[in-house]
Amino acid sequence: MNINPFVLSPAIPDELFCDRQAESLSLIKSIQNQENVVLISPRRVGKTGLIYHCFNQPEISDNYITVSIDILHTTSFQEFIKELGDAVFNVVAKRNEKLTKLFVATLRSLNGSFGIDPITYLPTFDVKLGQIVAPEYTLDEIFAYLEKADRPCIVAIDEFQQIAKYPEGNIEALLRGRIQKLTNTHFIFAGSERRMMNEMFFSDRRPFYQSATLLQLDPIDLNIYSEFSIRQFKASGKDVETDAITWAYHLFDGVTMYVHKLLHDSYADTAIGGVCDIAAIQYAAEQLIQQNAKRLQELLSYVTEQQKEVLYAIAADRCVSRITSSDFVKRHHLKSASAVQSAVKRLLDLDLVTEQHKSYTISDPLLRVWITRDAFPSPLGDLSRR
C-alpha cells in the first residue's frame, strides 16, 4: 500500500516527522525536569504535532501519563472543565479498574455523570455542561485525582490563550493558584496568539508571570524541509523539483500545514516515475484556495470596510514595520494614521493580524494569498519569481 508520507494530522509517525530535533530535545528535557512549559508559535506551524511527537517518545510514554486538550472552541470555564474532565477520564481513569474507581470516588461533584457499561460493568463518564454547577470545586477534584495517579502527569492545553476570553474574568488567577501547588502534575501551555500569550506569561501584572519555561516554534528551515520532501518522493519512485518546494514554502511563509497540504496533494497526483513541478504545486494551491474560499469570506464578515482596507494593505505589503507612516497611509489610500491605528487594534483582537517586533503581518497566510490573488494577472500571481 502506497502511504502518503505528507501526513496532515498532528499524530505523525516518527519516521515521517520532519526535523524539530532541537525543539523536541528541549521539550522532553523540560518535562523530565518537572517544568511547566509555555509553547508559542504561529497557528498551523506544528506545535500540536510536536507535543504528540514528544509524548510518543519512550522516555516520556514509558514514564508519564500524558493528557492533551484543545480549548480553542471553548467559551466558558464550564466548557474548560468539561474538556479537562473528559480527557482525564479517557486517558487516566481508563488505564485500569483501580484508577477508574478512584476517579468516581474523587469527583463527587459530578456523581450524576457516571453510569455503568452493561458489557464491562465499569463506570462510564458523560458529563453535561449543566451538571458542572461548581466548576472551581470540580477543578480541585480533577487536580486532586491527577495528584494520586500512579505516574507523573503531563497536561498539554492547546490554544491556552482562550482562557483570557472567558466571561468569568478571573480564570488566570484561579488556575495559577492551584497549579503552583501541584507536585505530580505539570503543564504545557500552547498558544498561537503570540501577543496574548506573551502578555499572559511575561507581563508582571498577570498571574502566570514567569511561571513556565518558554519554547518558541518557528517555521522549519527551507533547506531541511526540501531535503525531507525530496527524500519522501524518491522513496516511492517519484521526484519533486526543488523549485516547486521553494515556491510552496514562500507562498505560505513556511507554515507547515499549508506547505504539507500542497505536497500531500501533489504527491498523490504524481505517478510513479513522474516529477512534481511548479505547475503541479500551483494547481494544488489553487484547489486549496477554492476549498477555503467560503470560510475566508465569512471570516471577513466580522470586520468593517475601513478595517478591510487596512487588512488588504497589510496583505499587499506582506509585512509592515511602520503601520501608521504617511508612506503606508498614502500608498494604500487609507483614511488617516489614527484610523489605521484604530483598525489595527480591532484586527489584532480578532487575530486576523499578528504583531511581532513592531511588524504586522496577516496571521493566516492562506487568508493573505486569498486576499491578494485578485491583484495579480494570473490566479495566484507570478509567485514563482519571488
Band of the pLDDT at 380, cuts 50, 70, 90? very low
Coil vs helix vs strand at 307: helix
* Residues 263-276: tens digit of each pLDDT: 999 999 999 999 99
Q: What are phi and psi of 125, to 5 degrees?
A: -130, 120
pLDDT score of 112: 77
Task: Give me 249's grid cell.
Answer: 514554502
Q: Is pLDDT of 375 > 60?
A: no
Q: How far is CA 386 from the centre of its chain?
A: 28
DSSP assignment, residue 271? P
Band of the pLDDT at 357, cuts 50, 70, 90? confident
pTM passes above 0.85:
yes
Q: Is pLDDT of 385 > 50?
A: no
Going along 85-229, which residue ranges are E strands?
114-116, 123-125, 153-158, 185-191, 213-216
Band of the pLDDT at 115, cuts 50, 70, 90? confident
Q: How far is CA 142 from the centre of its chain?
A: 25
Tell me which of 123-132, 179-188, 252-261 is least confident: 123-132
Q: Is pLDDT of 386 > 50?
A: no
pLDDT score of 91: 95
Average of per-residue pLDDT values in the chain: 92
Task: Give me 165's grid cell.
Answer: 476570553
Quick one: average pLDDT of 180-206? 95
State percent of the chain over pLDDT 90: 83
* Residues 149-165: tens digit of each pLDDT: 999 999 999 999 999 99
CA–CA separation, 221 and 254 (whole Å): 8
